[in-house]
Amino acid sequence: MNSSSESVPTHMASGQSRVLALDFKWGNFHTLITEFDTTNPDPKPLYDVSCGMLAPHLKIKSIQEDRQIGTGTVHAISISPDYSLHGSKGTLRAKSRLRTIYTHMSHTFSDTDKPAKMSWTSRSGFTKWDFICCDENQTPVAKFTANVWALKKVAKIEIMGPKAFDSAALDEIVTVGMTLNYCMYLRINNPLNLVGSAFMRTGKEAQIEAPRLQPV
């Protein structure tokens, strides 16, 4: 699927890497996502993600386009959350009972008419979760780093490679990454998800290993 890339300064695009910062607002349970820029103390938000008790639990809005682009829905028992992106529905499928291994299908990262199978793996510690997204060749294309104990600056998203500044790729990584992050918070706090883990089926994808990346 071809999509137009956003217009960005040459010095930014040449690095083939883009970092977004996530700032959680407790007053209205919204997360503002902005371009991570140490030279700009007041960057303009790119996305507004609202969190609610009823499905869909996450609603992702593009502030620049002033419209909702995606949603995320978690489940009480199943550990495979659902999401929607620009009207198309998808599922983040869990591939392991005990480890964080998920896959989703993507037209954005595909070089053919068929969707590509993207994989999400994790290298997590006591204070941080690193969710790494790889393409079908196991090349990392994004990393979602969540600060588990943070109250405001809750996470960063790094998008890398030739689609680092592609708007469709950005929408997808933000939507799927936020859904996965919310699902993992539910998994560690909801005992019913242990039941879902016990009865889920696993496949060959359970052998996927998370590559090691440098911290954002």
Note if the bond before 41 is cis, omega within 30 degrees: no
Query: What integer is the mean pLDDT of 178-193?
Result: 81
Q: How far is CA 123 from the centre of its chain?
A: 15
Domain ranges in the chain?
Answer: 10-192
In order of 12, 72, 89, 104, 140, the CA distances from 94 in angstroms are 35, 15, 16, 9, 19
The lowest-confidence range among 82-91, 179-188, 195-204 is: 195-204
Query: What integer is the mean pLDDT of 160-187?
Result: 95
The predicted structure's pLDDT at residue 61: 98
The predicted structure's pLDDT at residue 211: 45
pLDDT at 73 over 60: yes
Query: What integer is the mean pLDDT of 198-212?
Result: 48
Average pLDDT, the chain: 84
The predicted structure's pLDDT at residue 191: 58
The predicted structure's pLDDT at residue 199: 54
Q: pLDDT tens digits for 77-112?
A: 889 999 999 999 999 999 987 788 999 999 999 999
Task: Quote the CA–CA distance of 212 and 108 in Å, as a whole number.
Answer: 24
Task: Quote the CA–CA distance of 136 and 140 in Å, as a whole number.
Answer: 10
Fold of the domain built from segment(s) 10-192? Porin (2.40.160)
Share of the chain above pLDDT 70, in %: 80
pLDDT at 7 over 50: no
Name the residue with higher pLDDT: 76 or 14.
76
pLDDT at 32 over 70: yes
The predicted structure's pLDDT at residue 22: 96
Structure tokens at 204: 């060959």
Q: How many residues does the chain have?
A: 216
pLDDT at 11 over 50: no
Task: Quote the CA–CA distance of 139 and 160 in Å, as a whole number.
Answer: 10
The predicted structure's pLDDT at residue 169: 98
The contacts found for 120-123 with CB under 8 angstroms, 24 or more apart, are 120/92, 120/176, 120/180, 121/208, 121/209, 121/210, 121/211, 122/184, 122/210, 123/210, 123/212
Q: pLDDT tens digits for 111-166?
A: 999 999 999 999 876 678 999 999 999 999 999 999 987 778 899 999 999 999 99
Beta-sheet pairing, 58-62 with 140-147: unpaired
Query: What integer is the mean pLDDT of 164-174?
Result: 97
The predicted structure's pLDDT at residue 137: 95
User: Which residue type, as a one-letter code, is found at position 149?
Assistant: W
